[in-house]
Structure formats: C-alpha cells, structure tokens
C-alpha cells in the first residue's frame, strides 16, 4: 500500500514537472495617463498573439506564455521604472512587450531592461533618440523612428514644389524629435525652414504663436502636434486669421475630431502622414482582429501584435525561454530570408522553426527590422477632402 | 502707400484685434477681482475658476438650446444661455461666502487667511467644473463666425494682406464696454453702489451710518460672479473652453488689476489692455511688418521678435514685478497690496 502511494506521488510529481510552468511575459503600457484610451486595445492585441502561440502547443518544451500587465503611465519615468522592476524581479518575466511612450521607454530600457538583460519590444515609442540608445541589443521596436517620418514629410513637401515652410511642434520629446528630423531631411533636399517654434498644449489661445509663424514669410505650415490639443488650436487660429493656406500634418494630427471642429474650411488644404501598411499583411491582420472583436485600425494595435509575436517566435528559435537567447534570434525571425509569416500563422511559423527552417515574419505591419532593431516603417499619406481624410498612397 | 496699408493691415490682423479682444476679457476678469478686493479686502484666487464654473453652466444650457433648435443667429446661442450661467455662478459664490468666507469675516481674520481659503475654494470649484463637463476642450460657438473674412477683405481692398474679424471678437469688446459702463454707473449713481464704496472706504463708519454689511457683501458677490461668467463665456467663445485654461488666466488678471491700481475699477480696465498689449506686442515677430515699411534691400533676415511666444505668461510676471517695485499703487493709485 505504501509503495503504491509512493509511486502515485512520484508519478504525479513527474507529470506536473512535464507540463512546464507558464513563462511570464511583461506587457507594460500606459494604462493610466494620456494614452489610457488606446492602451487597452494595444494590450489585448499583444495578448492575442501570446495566446495564439501558447495555444498552438508548439513552443519549445510545450511552454505557455502568460502575459503580466504593468502600468507605464506614459509620462512618469520613476513610476514606469518601478513597474518594470517589479515585472523583472517579482514576476520573473523573460521579455517585455512595451513600453508605449518614448520617455518612459527610454527610462525602462536604461534602468531595468538593459542592466538586467531583458528584451524589450516597444510597439509605439517613435523618438529618434531611441535609435542610438546604449542597449546591448536588448531594445527593439515594431514602430518606426520619427526620423523616418521626417524624411517622408520632407519628400512630400519638396515634391509639391514648396521650398520654404514654417514648422510648429508640440513642446515635448516627440514634437522636438520629429521637427528636427524633418528639418534635417528638408534642408538636405535644399528646402528652407523659415521658423521652427514649439507650442505648448492645453492653452486657450494660439493666436500669438500663429502670428510669429506667419511673420516668418512662409506660406506653408508643418504642424507636428496633437489633434485634440495645441495642434488643433494652431490650425484653427491659422485658418481664422488667414495666416496659412497649406498645411502638412505629422501623425499626431490625424483624426476626425479636427475636421469636425474646424469645419469645411480645411478641405483641400492639408496633406498628412501616419504609420500605416497596405496590402496583404494589413488585410490578413484585419480579418484576424475582427474575428477577435478588435479594431484592426486602432492606434498601434497591429504593432502590438507584432511585438508580442516576435517575442514568442524568437523564443522558439532560441529553443528555450532564455532572455539572451530571445535577444539573439530576434533579427533572424523578423527579417528575410525565409518563409513569409503573416498574422494568425504563428503555429505554422513555430512548426517551421522546429524543423530548423528560416522564417521571415511579416505579421500585421510587414515587419522589417533595420539598423539597431527598429521597424523600417511604412506611412500612409492622406489629404483632407470633403470633410474626411482620403488616402493618397503609401510610402 | 500700398506697402504702408499692407503693413497696417498685417499689424491690425495679428496684433491690434487679438490684443484688444484679449484685453477686454482680462478687463472683465480684473474688474471682478478688484471689486472683491475693495469691498471684502482680499485677493480672490477662486475668481478664475468661478469663471470656469459659470462658463460651464452656460455651455450646458447652450447645448440644450442648440438641441431644441433655439438660437439667435447670427449671434451665438451662448448669449441666450448667459443669464442661467450668471445665476448659477452667483448662487455658488453666495453659498461659498456663507459657508467659507463669512466664518473668517466674523473672526476678523487677516487678509492672508482669506487668500489661502480662496485657494482652497479654487480647487473645489475646479473639481466641480471638471466633474460635470470633463477635462477636454469644449466648443460651443455657433452663429455667424466672421464679420469680415480674409478672402473677402482681400477681394474688397485688393491688398496682399488679409484681415479677419470674428463675431466673437466684436461681441467681446461691445459686451465689455456695456458691462463696464453698467458697473461704473452702478457704483457711482445708485444707493447700493455708494454704500459699497462707503463700506470699502471705512467699514466702521459705514456700519455706524446704517449700511447693512450683509447686503453690501451679497451685492459684491453678485456683481463679481456675473462679471466672471461674462468674462469666461466671452473668452470661451473667442478661444475655446477648457477647465484648466481659466486657472492660467488668473495671473494676467491679477497683473491687470495691480497694474491699474487694485481697488480702482477704471484701473482694472486700463490694466487689462496694458497687459494684453504688452503680451502680444512683445511676442510678435515684426519681420512681415518691417519688410513692408523699410526700403527694399533693408528687409530684416531674422524674425525681429523680442521674446518667444513661450514667454507670453512671463510678460505678465515681469509687469507684475516691475509695478510692485516701482509703483506699488498702480497707474490709478489703488491700494497697496
């Protein structure tokens, strides 16, 4: 009797050892703060990818991935660092999907992720400064650097024959970074930035800012701000006083709320860019997202899926849930050569990896990691026509 | 000649019109602050958020009227809703006085205690406003937006530069003029106004001559609340409504009241325009204007801007410091704060 009991106990112990412990993956986004309206969808998208990989049962050793959420607050670097610290030491996460805003992402990377050797994949930090971060290869992002957006905007402006523009940007890292990268790219093309002035968000009156911009003598205004904040105030004041007739918008200015507020006067005066992908990758993700009751066009929702999927795939390529292994195999699974993998095909990708074959993860946004491990990026160019943004093309 | 006209139009469009409108809004706010200061003898920090509260009520009633299809086009519907906002703000101010300030008055507390209490009241007002309407920008302007539009002006005059004049800007100046005229008439000609001034000059003497202090205090709050709502609604109509913006307005409003001489209604009005014109003219870039005025070849390369627009609020600070150092009584010899 004793022997039987012992045998049962031992075999039970063995069985539980075989069904591997779930591996924790941190999902650190600003669930409170300025981005709180878009982060739940981003987290859901990332968790969808992790679940897809776990449910396939094809991760090495049959491990499952367990998302652990933490709050980056988007603006408070100290709080974000504490939250990430908790994930890495308390929850023992092997990789982090996040963070969202460039400031807190830099803080987490330099204070926690890089010193502790944990891979971070941000779906939405776009500051050019992150490209030159001392990251020991642990930091990746599925969102493109704003340096690239600056180039796209400079191309658009110079192709339309404009040689002189006034630039106004929101007074933070994002606005300043984008304004600088646009100016560098535009001047390289022989254009001239007549004035580059910051505006503060949350003010009632932007007429003084617009007056200074107008005085520069340029006829075209580049607005690199936020659609529900100072950017709208600037556009409204510029139209009211007749200071500018032509506008170019950065990605923060995309939104129907601006058109609703300013009215039909804006029609035909605006060309803007925002991150966006066309073609197969986007269509496949749209179908997948809708099947899970998610909005595929949500801000940084596809990028979030890709960030989480890349973590799962490079874990498989590494052969175990090893922090450094995930880092080393990230670029292999993300880039060519290999078979193209789209959203919803993670099981197929895991099979291929198990067979020792190369994959080229395309995911929801046509991922291609360049330079220090950041998305090359693709932008949708739109104009405002008949009270709605109309897509002109992609570049 | 045409160059001169262009320069004039440019300057009017970007300096004179915005500064006049802004000055009128500051003047109304400063008038309320100065009234409270004269009669109740403290600087009411809650004035900015009283503006926000009255404006919020007005906006809500405006939305209701708009939904019912009631309007007074081409004038904005908000004018119709204004009395409700004023009554609401008055009720709030009177309740605050009864629950907070009356307590300190009976104890004959120092003015600084009143000021600190008013800071507390300010936070409560702001929280109430945000609780009801949220923290975002609200727009409630309707009716005809423009009196003169830029393209029309260009077509009319054939000048290169355009001029825009919005309905809300005209409305602001007209309403300000009417309100100020009414306040002056009220203070100088009516019995209640005279008793307010008597109470302000010497409280004990006024009490001895049979003036009811309760009545004076109540009338002061009613006036201040109505002026606050008026200023707030005009600012919101002209720019946009956001609960936090009125808190930022507090500094230029106090600067206006002090520049003009605190306790002097005329001073508040003049101070409002002084502060507004200083803010706008110091941060304006004169490149365009000078290009028209100077002979060809002498046009400036730079922007010819004294201060970046980021420093707009710093201008109020500097004015405040200079006035307090050089002439603490202000232009019209008000009380020393």
Instruction: Answer whether residue A317 shows pLDDT above 90.
Output: yes
Q: Which of A198, A212, A233 comes nearest B305 by C-beta? A: A212
Q: Do A217 and B288 touch (CB under 8 A)?
A: yes
3-state DSSP of chain B: CHHHHHHHHHHHHHHHHHHHHHHHHHHHHHHHHHHHHHHHCCCCCCHHHHHHHHHHHHHHHHHHHHHHCCCECCECCHHHHHHHHHHHHHHHHHHHHHHHHHHHHHCCCCHHHHHHHHHHHHHHHHHHHHHHHCCCCECCCCCCCEEECHHHHHHHHCCCCCCCEEHHHHHHHHHHHHHHHHHHHHHHHCHHHHHHHHHHHCHHHHHHCCCCHHHHHHHHHHHHHHHHHHHHHHHHHHCCECCCHHHHHHHHHHHHHHHHCCCCHHHHHHHHHHHHHHHHHHHCECHHHHHHHCCCCCCCCCCCECCCHHHHHHHHHHHHHHHHHHCCCCCCCCCCC
Residue B296 lies in a domain: no
Q: What is the pLDDT of residue B301?
A: 81
Region A36-51 average pLDDT: 91
Q: Do B308 and A195 touch (CB under 8 A)?
A: no
CATH of domain A7-144+279-353: 3.40.50.2300
Instruction: Answer whether residue A5 shows pLDDT above 70.
Output: no
Residue B67 lies in a domain: yes
Q: What is the pLDDT of residue A255?
A: 82
| Distance from the A350 Cα atom to the nearest Cα atom in chain B, whole angstroms | 46
- Residue B202 contacts A where some CB pair is shorter than 8 Å: no
| Distance from the B206 Cα atom to the nearest Cα atom in chain A, whole angstroms | 42
Residue A32 pLDDT level (bands cut at 50, 70, 90): confident
Region B251-262 average pLDDT: 92
Instruction: Answer whether residue B84 shows pLDDT above 80.
Output: yes
User: Residue A212: closest CA among chain B residues belongs to which residue?
Assistant: B285
Instruction: Answer whether residue A311 shows pLDDT above 50.
Output: yes
Q: Which of A208, A232, A233 comes nearest B309 by C-beta? A: A208
- Residue B288 contacts A where some CB pair is shorter than 8 Å: yes
Chain A residues in contact with B137 by the CB 8 A cut-off are: 228, 232
User: Residue A195: closest CA among chain B residues belongs to which residue?
Assistant: B303
Region B238-259 average pLDDT: 91
Q: What is the pLDDT of residue A7?
A: 54
Enter the pTM of the model.
0.80
Neighbours of A394 (CB within 10 A): 15
Residue B316 lies in a domain: no
Q: Do A212 and B136 touch (CB under 8 A)?
A: no
Q: What is the pLDDT of residue A260?
A: 85
- Candidates A33, A207, A239, A264, partner chain B, best to mutate (most B CBs within 10 A): A207
Region A70-79 average pLDDT: 92
Q: What is the pLDDT of residue A261?
A: 83
Residues carrying CATH 3.40.50.2300, chain A: 7-144+279-353, 147-277+378-394
- Residue B312 contacts A where some CB pair is shorter than 8 Å: yes
Residue B186 lies in a domain: yes
Give the residue numbers spanning the domain of B103.
Answer: 2-7+21-246
Tell me what the pLDDT averaged over chain A comes to: 89
Max mean pLDDT range (A297-311, B118-132, B299-313): B118-132
Residue B126 lies in a domain: yes
Q: What is the pLDDT of residue B85?
A: 97
ipTM of the complex in this document: 0.84
Chain B residues in contact with A204 by the CB 8 A cut-off are: 235-236, 239-242, 245, 248-249
User: Residue B285: closest CA among chain A residues belongs to which residue?
Assistant: A212
What's the structural domain count of chain B? 1
Give the CATH class of A147-277+378-394.
alpha beta
Give the separation between CA B209 and CA A130, rounded to whole angstroms.
Answer: 75
Residue B264 lies in a domain: no
- Of A13-22, A130-139, B180-189, give the lowest mean pLDDT range: A13-22
Residue A2 pLDDT level (bands cut at 50, 70, 90): low
Q: What is the pLDDT of residue A6?
A: 54
Q: Which of A197, A203, A217 comes nearest B287 by C-beta? A: A217
Task: Report which of residues A121 and A171 the model is more confident about.
Answer: A121
> How confident is the model over A91-127, as pLDDT tens digits?
999 999 989 888 899 999 999 999 999 999 999 998 8
Q: Which of A198, A215, A233 comes nearest B303 by C-beta? A: A215
Q: What is the pLDDT of residue A13?
A: 46
Residue A252 pLDDT level (bands cut at 50, 70, 90): confident
Q: What is the pLDDT of residue A14?
A: 45
Residues in A whose CB is inside 8 Å of some CB of B read 171, 195, 197-200, 202-205, 207-212, 214-217, 228, 232-233, 236, 240-243, 261
Region A199-206 average pLDDT: 86
> How confident is the model over A214-246, as pLDDT tens digits?
988 899 999 998 887 888 899 999 998 989 989
Chain B residues in contact with A199 by the CB 8 A cut-off are: 309
- Candidates B144, B288, B303, partner chain A, best to mutate (most A CBs within 10 A): B303
């Amino acid at each position: 009797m004793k022997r039987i009991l012992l045998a049962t106990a031992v075999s039970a112990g063995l069985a539980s050892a075989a069904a591997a412990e779930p591996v924790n993956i941190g999902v650190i986004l600003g669930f409170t703060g300025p981005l709180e309206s878009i982060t739940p969808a981003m987290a859901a998208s990332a968790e969808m990818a992790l679940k897809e990989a776990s449910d396939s049962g094809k991760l090495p050793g049959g491990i499952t991935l367990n998302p652990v959420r933490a709050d980056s607050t988007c603006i408070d670097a100290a709080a974000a660092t504490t939250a990430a610290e908790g994930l890495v030491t308390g929850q023992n996460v092997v990789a982090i999907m996040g963070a969202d805003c460039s400031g807190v992402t830099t803080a987490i990377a330099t204070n926690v992720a890089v010193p502790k050797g944990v891979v971070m994949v941000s779906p939405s930090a776009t500051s050019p400064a992150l490209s030159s971060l001392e990251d020991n290869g642990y930091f990746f992002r599925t969102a493109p650097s704003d340096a690239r957006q600056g180039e796209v905007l400079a191309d658009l402006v110079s192709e339309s024959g404009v040689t002189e523009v006034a630039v106004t940007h929101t007074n933070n890292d994002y606005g300043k970074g984008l304004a600088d990268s646009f100016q560098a790219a535009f001047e390289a093309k022989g254009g001239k930035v007549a004035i580059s002035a910051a505006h503060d968000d949350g003010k009632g009156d932007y007429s003084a800012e617009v007056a200074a911009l107008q005085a520069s003598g340029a006829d075209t205004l580049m607005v690199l701000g936020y659609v529900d904040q100072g950017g709208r105030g600037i556009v409204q004041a510029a139209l009211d006083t007749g200071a500018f007739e032509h506008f170019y918008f950065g990605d923060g200015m995309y939104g129907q709320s601006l058109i609703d507020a300013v009215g039909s006067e804006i029609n035909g005066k605006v060309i803007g860019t925002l991150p966006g992908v066309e073609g197969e990758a986007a269509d496949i993700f749209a179908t997948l997202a809708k099947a899970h009751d998610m909005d595929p066009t949500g801000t940084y929702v596809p990028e979030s899926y890709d960030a989480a999927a890349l973590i799962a795939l490079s874990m498989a390529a590494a052969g175990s849930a090893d922090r450094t292994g995930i880092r080393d195999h990230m670029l292999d699974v993300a880039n060519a050569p290999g078979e193209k993998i789209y959203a919803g095909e993670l099981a197929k990708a895991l099979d291929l990896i198990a067979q020792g074959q190369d994959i080229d993860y395309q995911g929801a946004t046509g991922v291609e990691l360049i330079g220090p491990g950041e998305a090359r990026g693709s932008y949708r160019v739109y104009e405002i026509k008949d009270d709605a943004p109309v897509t002109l093309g992609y570049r | 000649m045409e160059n001169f006209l262009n320069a004039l139009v440019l300057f009017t469009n970007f300096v004179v019109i915005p500064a006049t409108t802004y000055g009128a809004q500051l003047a109304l706010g400063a008038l309320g602050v100065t009234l409270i200061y004269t009669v109740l003898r403290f600087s009411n920090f809650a004035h900015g958020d009283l503006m926000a509260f009255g404006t919020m009520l007005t906006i809500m009633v405006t939305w209701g009227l708009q939904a019912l299809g009631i309007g007074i086009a081409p004038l904005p519907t908000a004018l119709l809703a204004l009395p409700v906002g004023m009554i609401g703000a008055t009720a709030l101010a009177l309740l605050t006085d009864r629950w907070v300030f009356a307590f300190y008055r009976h104890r004959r507390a120092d003015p600084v205690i009143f000021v600190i209490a008013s800071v507390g009241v300010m936070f409560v007002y702001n929280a109430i406003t945000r609780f009801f309407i949220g923290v975002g920008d609200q727009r409630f302007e309707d009716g005809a937006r423009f009196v003169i539009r830029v393209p029309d002006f260009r077509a009319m005059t054939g000048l290169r530069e355009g001029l825009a004049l919005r309905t809300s800007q005209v409305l602001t100046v007209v309403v300000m003029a009417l309100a100020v005229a009414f306040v002056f008439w009220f203070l100088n000609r009516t019995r209640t106004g005279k008793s307010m001034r008597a109470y302000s000059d010497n409280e004990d003497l006024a009490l001895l001559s049979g003036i009811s202090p309760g009545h004076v205090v109540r009338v002061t709050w009613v006036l201040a609340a109505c002026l606050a709502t008026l200023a707030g609604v005009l600012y919101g109509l002209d720019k946009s409504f956001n609960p936090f913006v009125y808190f930022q307005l507090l500094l230029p409003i106090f600067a206006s009241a002090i520049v003009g001489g605190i306790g002097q209604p005329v001073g508040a009005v003049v101070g409002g325009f002084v502060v507004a014109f200083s803010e706008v003219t110091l941060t304006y870039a004169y490149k365009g204007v000078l290009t028209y005025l100077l002979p060809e070849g002498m046009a400036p390369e730079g922007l010819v801007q004294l201060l970046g627009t980021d420093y707009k609020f710093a201008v109020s600070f500097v004015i405040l410091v200079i006035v307090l150092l050089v002439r603490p009584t202000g232009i019209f010899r008000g009380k020393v704060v």
